[in-house]
Amino acid sequence: MVKASLNTDGQVLIKNKQKQFSPWKLARKKFLKNKIAMTSLFVFVSFVLIAVFGPLFTTHDITRINFMSMNLPPSAEHWFGTDTNGRDIFTRMVYGARTSLLIGLSCMTFIIVIGTIVGAIAGYNGGKIDQIFMRITDFVLNFPFLVFVIVLNTILVGKVSGVWTLILVISLLSWGGVARIVRSRFLSEKENEYVLAAKSIGTRPIKIIGKHILPNVASTIIVQATLMLAVTIVAEAGLSFLGSGVPANIPSWGNMLFEARDSDVLRNKTWIWVPPAAAITITILAINFIGEGIKDALNPKSRR
């Protein structure tokens, strides 16, 4: 905004008055201008909407085996064809999106919550509390993820719902990295003057963490959340492909790939495995581009 005025000598003075925005508003404006990130967000939201509302518009039964419709190529009746058991692939894709995205979003939420709580307590308090929490974190990180997930998932099958068993196991073994990152940010933030001032007037630690430090660490946590979402979706697909993920009676993108592992299917019936593989690839790419867009938008050095 340009403003003109006259000084005492009658000369015209030009003042450039810029509108000030908060850091979060600047980040939002920058993210909205990122075409790749916005396109990726549209793609991801579309998958979520299909997972939520898609089953309302499907007509085929995902559990019924029809030997008369086995291995049919795409057609007007079966848009993506049928699998080796005669089930409609498009319908299974829709229900598989619901399962895979539920696992990814749930695991991401649990991982971020656990990792943030552990990292915040360790980083803010320091000393022995920090050492105890970090040794627990090291203990979790030292486990071979794939082997331990398979073992725990096998033990818990039948005691908890199959999908929630996988969510629980992945979440309990994946929060260590987030806890370390949050701890490092808290260690640096707690030395700033605004935290020391809050301590000097007797502000409670939980209020300092929640009101003063956490908002300044939120950008890092948000970026980690997008990364964890992509990682957990890939983890579900990989475990299901190995036969140790979602139970076979529940459709998921990983289970669809597991059922299409036969060499004849891979070579001659590509319509069985291409849709779930493409869905996983597109979803992961979209999430990664969203994460990069958020990271760039929240980076103060990249703002004009």
More confident residue, 241 or 19: 241
More confident residue, 97 or 203: 97
pLDDT score for 267: 80
Over residues 33-56, mean pLDDT: 90
pLDDT score for 142: 84
pLDDT score for 59: 77
pLDDT score for 157: 60
Q: pLDDT confidence of 287, banded at 50, 70, 90?
A: very high
Tell me how far apart the alpha carbons of residues 259 and 152 are, in angstroms, rounded to a whole number. 23
pLDDT score for 9: 53
User: Which residue in 106, 300, 139, 131 sits closest to 220, CA to CA?
Assistant: 300
| Residue 217: pLDDT over 80 | yes
| Residue 282: pLDDT over 90 | yes
More confident residue, 167 or 148: 167
> Tell me: the pLDDT tens digits for 165-203?
888 888 888 899 999 999 999 988 888 888 888 888 888
User: Which residue in 221, 55, 53, 43 sits closest to 123, CA to CA?
Assistant: 221
User: Which residue in 117, 137, 113 sits closest to 125, CA to CA?
Assistant: 117
The full DSSP string for the chain is -EEEEE-TTS-EEEEE-PPP--HHHHHHHHHHH-HHHHHHHHHHHHHHHHHHHGGGG--S-SS---GGGTTPPS-SSSTT-B-TTS-BHHHHHHHHHHHHHHHHHHHHHHHHHHHHHHHHHHHHH-HHHHHHHHHHHHHHHTS-HHHHHHHHHHHHBTTB-HHHHHHHHHHHTT-HHHHHHHHHHHHHHTTSHHHHHHHHTT--HHHIIIIIIHHHHHHHHHHHHHHHHHHHHHHHHHHHHTTSSS-TTS--HHHHHHHT-SHHHHHH-HHHHHHHHHHHHHHHHHHHHHHHHHHHHH-GGG--
pLDDT score for 302: 57
Q: Provide, rounded to the nearest whole percent, the portion of the chain with pLDDT above 70.
A: 88
Over residues 201-223, mean pLDDT: 86
Over residues 265-290, mean pLDDT: 88
pLDDT score for 301: 62
Structural domains of the chain, with CATH: 22-302 (1.10.3720.10)
Tell me how far apart the alpha carbons of residues 34 and 293 are, in angstroms, rounded to a whole number. 7
Tell me how far apart the alpha carbons of residues 43 and 49 are, in angstroms, rounded to a whole number. 10
Residue 6 pairs with which residues in a beta bridge? 12
Ramachandran assignment for 203, one of left (phi > 0), alpha (psi -120 to 50 degrees), beta (any other): beta
Mean pLDDT of the chain: 82
User: Which residue in 148, 138, 100 sits closest to 118, CA to CA?
Assistant: 138
User: Which residue in 158, 231, 102 sits closest to 239, CA to CA?
Assistant: 231
Dihedral pair phi/psi, residue 2, rounded to 5°:
-105, 130
> Tell me: the pLDDT tens digits for 106-140?
999 999 999 999 999 999 888 899 999 999 998 88
